[in-house]
Structure 1
Amino acid sequence: MGRFEGDRTPETVEYEPASVKDLLVEMKDTAELLIDLSYSAVLHQSTDIAREVLELEHKMDVLQMRARMSLMLAARNPNEAEQLAPVLGVIAGADKISDAAGDIAKVVLEEIGLPDAMRGALSEAVELLVRGTIAEGSPYSGRTLQDIDLESETGVRIIAIRRADEWILNPGPTTTLCPDDVAIFRGPEASIPDVHETATEEAYVADEPIEPDVSDLERAVDSIVLMKNLSELAVDLAYGSVLFDAEELAEEVSNLEVEVDALQSRFEAWTLRAAREADDPVALRGLIHLGVATEVISDAAVEITEGVLRDLDVHPVVELAVKESDEIITRTTVDPDSDLDGTAIHEGVPETSVSTSVLAVRRPGEGWLVGPDIDTVLQAGDVLITKGTRTSAAEFADRAA
């Protein structure tokens, strides 16, 4: 088996003075981007995106080593050691997510078999995400993101930029796009083609839709898509539990992990049954790889919550890191007579013009509603755990007041 562009001999990592908070922010943003990119690589069978995953995985290895070095120097007494111990769980969790994403990407790079049915199902479960290189003659080249105002005009966001070997994981309004920048775009399917062509001066070619055709395979594919959704939710709730020191959210993460484990058992059984009907059973190997890697992501989420579940005071540096990351997690209470009172939520998305996802709802007297398919009507007094950009979070909070 040949080496890939992202496979590298581990480099020597020397201690450099660095803020633990900044390292945690970068690790969180990198981990979440890795999940998005790895599943998108499978969906589009894109070796280019898969190689970006391996580049980011290498970056994560360096980040986690530097973070551990900084933590060892930061603990000056037993009290600080107790507060910093849960931070190691956050670091280890992000690193495990990175490894799992790399394994998912290698399903594409190593040409491990994957049935077409998997791609057909993922197309409905993965938000459209594409990679493009900024052309020198593009109208975007040499301009800041604020000047381009891409999100307001099209709904498309640039969620990351690779400039040579350096990554910009949290591009802000003052970030300037340069020729040859590799940009990762995320947004509505209707808007992506025009944005991609404007940025790269190359036409965007969409994948042909694929329909499942084997009943047991359909069940296996449905299971792994649900595993993916629950694992991503578990990661989001894990960071939310740390941010708000919410043991209830940490317990929900554990519940999700148990559900993912159960799904994996059923998924493996259906995959083996599907092998009897498949023309080429070897083509199902990629499904097994996806299942194992997806389950590792849910395990990593539990590791992130360890300090909360053990009732340890998590160091404030973690709270700051979660607040300052690319997409932020917030807790919002719906006030009486606010715009959100009476607003419906369908599949975790509220019927508003604000692009914010609702991860969980705590309703007085009823407990938590958790899941990617939350369908409910918001009421005054509901406590919402949400995820979105800083702009959308501020707009959502205004609507709740």
Structure 2
Amino acid sequence: NLQIIQTQTGGFKEAKALEPIVVMGYSIDKISDALADIARVVYINSDISDFTQLFWDDVPEPIVKITVNDNCEFIGMNRKEIHFRSKYGVDVIAIKRKDEWIFKKDNEIQIGDILIIKGEMEPIKELKKLTLDTEDFSFQIDDEKKDSEFDLTNPEVFDKILEFKKDYILITDISETMIELALAALFFNSYEVAEDVIEMESLMDGLNIIFEKDLLSLTQSLDNPRILTGIMRIIFSCELIADAAAHLAENILEGFEPHIILQKAIEETPEIVVRETISTESYLKEKTYKQLQNQQYKRGFHIIALKRENKWIYSFKSDFIFKVGDLLIGLGPKETVDQWRSCVNPEFSKEER
């Protein structure tokens, strides 16, 4: 990378400063290729839905489409100024306007815009009401269940599927979390977050080996083992994503400083990643995940991951209880970061005074 950059004017010093940008671009390209492979697998393998439909209830933050209808209060408002995460508890990943995909946050919401939303189901339902969208949820996020090709009446198949369900969700959660944390570590030059990513990558390697062995074992119990092909491809792509994210984190640990391009991006991004530990005085201690969806505690922040002693937790059921000593990694708006940190650890606000 350095040799390629050095062919440009500016000499070794400027070339060295640009190296993290090239590394980031290379890693993000690898991540996007892996994500495209996952999309391609899902598109050409209808059998994937037979597997994934078995655990919709365990997906912590589904992604759905919501259409903006006439008389919606968001029409004419700038997307960036609406503060979807802090006010409504959801993220707008993108907007589809006719044949155009819009990712920038400085666009005004228009009638007919399709919002690609990520969040917990309850906030999504509330936002759906505000947009006056009366259509059923897209992406099959609803109560309707399709018949599965997996014979769940077979005890052997049922037990293995339950184990797969846990490992599959964990692997996909880890890879998604690693992307968020690796980019955050790079943007904010966070050594601690970078170390978290490397630790997760080691866990990912072990999980992949176990999952692939169990998947091959399951083929002996199925009449049509080819339906597992797509699942194996998805897990392989998740491993590529984890490797690319770890590569980004390694550059932070090697001492790369944020280039001016990254510094500019940091200034413009509306969100931030924060690490904070639940203290004995925390408002979050002994509360369930469902209770923490209240904006009084949430403050627009989404808990990406939690570390309890030596165990990482990436998704949370509604009855999950937060404990003193839990290390939280949260993603949320800059304008409420101090409020959120004070909820997690009231000592933070005292130290700031």
Output the TM-score relative to the length of structure 2. 0.73
Shift of 1:93: 1.9
Matched residue of 1:257: which SS?
Answer: helix
Q: AA paired with 2:45? A: E
Are 2:197 and 1:265 aligned? no
Distance 1:120 1:327 in 2: 33
Q: Identify if the C-alpha distance between structure 1 residues 76 and 384 changes in structure 2 by more than 3 Å, giving closer, same or farther.
A: farther
Q: Which has the higher contact order (CA 8 A, sep 6+)?
A: 2
Shift of 1:145: 5.2
Preserved contact between residue 242 and residue 319 of structure 1 (Cα < 8 Å): no
Shift of 1:314: 3.4
| 2:119 maps to which of 187, 200, 209 | 187
Shift of 1:299: 1.0
Distance 2:170 2:241 in 1: 13
Q: AA paired with 1:196? A: K
Q: Identify if the C-alpha distance between structure 1 residues 122 and 361 changes in structure 2 by more than 3 Å, giving closer, same or farther.
A: closer
Matches within 5 A, 1:40-189: 76-114=10-48, 116-136=50-70, 140-144=74-78, 155-171=89-105, 175-189=107-121
Are 2:180 and 1:236 aligned? yes
Preserved contact between residue 302 and residue 332 of structure 2 (Cα < 8 Å): yes
Q: Any idea what the Cα deviations from partners look like across 1:61-89, whole Å, max 9, x if unmatched?
A: xxxxxxxxxx8898723222212212212
Distance 1:373 1:252 in 2: 16
Shift of 1:288: 0.8
Q: Identify if the C-alpha distance between structure 1 residues 92 and 181 changes in structure 2 by more than 3 Å, giving closer, same or farther.
A: same
Shift of 1:207: 4.5
Shift of 1:308: 1.4
Q: AA paired with 2:144? A: E
Unaligned runs of 5+ in 2: none
Preserved contact between residue 308 and residue 314 of structure 1 (Cα < 8 Å): no
Q: Any idea what the Cα deviations from partners look like across 1:14-50, whole Å, max 9, x if unmatched?
A: xxxxxxxxxxxxxxxxxxxxxxxxxxxxxxxxxxxxx
Matched residue of 2:122: which SS?
Answer: coil
| 1:356 maps to which of 281, 285, 301 | 301
Are 2:268 and 1:324 aligned? yes
Distance 2:315 2:120 in 1: 19
How many residue pairs are counted as aligned between the two chains? 323
Distance 2:253 2:97 in 1: 40
Unaligned runs of 5+ in 1: 1-70
Task: State the match for 2:224 in structure 1.
Answer: 280
Q: Identify if the C-alpha distance between structure 1 residues 349 and 279 changes in structure 2 by more than 3 Å, giving closer, same or farther.
A: farther
Task: State the match for 2:161 in structure 1.
Answer: 217
Structure 1 vs Structure 2 CA RMSD: 4.0
Q: Identify if the C-alpha distance between structure 1 residues 164 and 94 changes in structure 2 by more than 3 Å, giving closer, same or farther.
A: farther
Shift of 1:231: 1.5
Shift of 1:121: 2.3
Shift of 1:150: 6.5
Q: Identify if the C-alpha distance between structure 1 residues 236 and 139 changes in structure 2 by more than 3 Å, giving closer, same or farther.
A: closer
Task: State the match for 1:312 in structure 2.
Answer: 256
Preserved contact between residue 170 and residue 325 of structure 1 (Cα < 8 Å): no
Task: State the match for 1:208 in structure 2.
Answer: 144
Preserved contact between residue 85 and residue 333 of structure 2 (Cα < 8 Å): no
Task: State the match for 2:131 in structure 1.
Answer: 199
Distance 1:341 1:97 in 2: 37
Q: Identify if the C-alpha distance between structure 1 residues 240 and 75 changes in structure 2 by more than 3 Å, giving closer, same or farther.
A: farther
Q: AA paired with 1:92? A: Y
Q: Percent identity?
A: 25
Distance 1:249 1:143 in 2: 35
Task: State the match for 1:343 in structure 2.
Answer: 285
Q: Any idea what the Cα deviations from partners look like across 1:132-159, whole Å, max 9, x if unmatched?
A: 3334565654455589786677544433
Preserved contact between residue 306 and residue 313 of structure 2 (Cα < 8 Å): no
Q: Any idea what the Cα deviations from partners look like across 1:252-286, whole Å, max 9, x if unmatched?
A: 32221122121111111111121222232121122
Preserved contact between residue 48 and residue 231 of structure 2 (Cα < 8 Å): yes
Q: Identify if the C-alpha distance between structure 1 residues 283 and 256 changes in structure 2 by more than 3 Å, giving closer, same or farther.
A: same
Distance 1:82 1:275 in 2: 50
Preserved contact between residue 170 and residue 314 of structure 2 (Cα < 8 Å): no
Q: Identify if the C-alpha distance between structure 1 residues 230 and 271 changes in structure 2 by more than 3 Å, giving closer, same or farther.
A: same
Output the TM-score relative to the length of structure 1. 0.66
